[in-house]
């Protein structure tokens, strides 16, 4: 009897784990970062989440902290949405989960070097 319970719990655990992995894979998106795609992105129904999808690749393959404003503009283009002396804001479009939108905020110090960046959800 105890053996049957152990096996039943093991099978239920494996089923739950399988569903959890399927859920995560459907909600975590990945697109290889492309500077050209980022800079030339036009939000349409089919491409509304392209920048969101590239964020993990951008963060993993490009160390933004320490880059200059000029290097950021070369990589991501001139920010259209919002730009101040201390901040660049790049609109990310719609996320694939709900009605979430967001922006990549890049903060610069007084010498125009990136000191911080984060994704703002809105």
The class level of CATH for 31-121 reads alpha beta
How far is the C-alpha of 13 from the C-alpha of 19, rounded, in Å?
Answer: 10
pLDDT of 26-85, one tens digit each?
445 578 999 999 999 998 888 888 999 999 899 999 999 999 999 999 999 999 878 999
Give the span between the Cα atoms of 82 and 89, in whole angstroms: 5
What's the pTM?
0.73
* Span 71-121, pLDDT tens digits: 999 999 999 878 999 999 999 988 876 678 889 999 999 999 999 999 998
């Amino acid at each position: 009897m105890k053996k049957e319970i152990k096996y039943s719990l093991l099978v239920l655990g494996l089923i739950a784990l399988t569903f959890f992995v399927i859920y995560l894979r459907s909600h975590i998106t990945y697109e290889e970062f492309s500077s050209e795609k980022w800079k030339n992105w036009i939000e349409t129904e089919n491409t509304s989440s392209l920048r969101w999808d590239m964020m993990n690749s951008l963060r993993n393959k490009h160390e933004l902290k320490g880059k200059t404003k000029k290097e950021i503009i070369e990589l991501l283009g001139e920010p259209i949405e919002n730009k101040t002396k201390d901040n660049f804001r790049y609109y990310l479009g719609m996320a694939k989960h709900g009605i979430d939108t967001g922006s990549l905020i890049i903060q610069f110090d007084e010498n125009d070097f990136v000191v911080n960046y984060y994704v703002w959800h809105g």
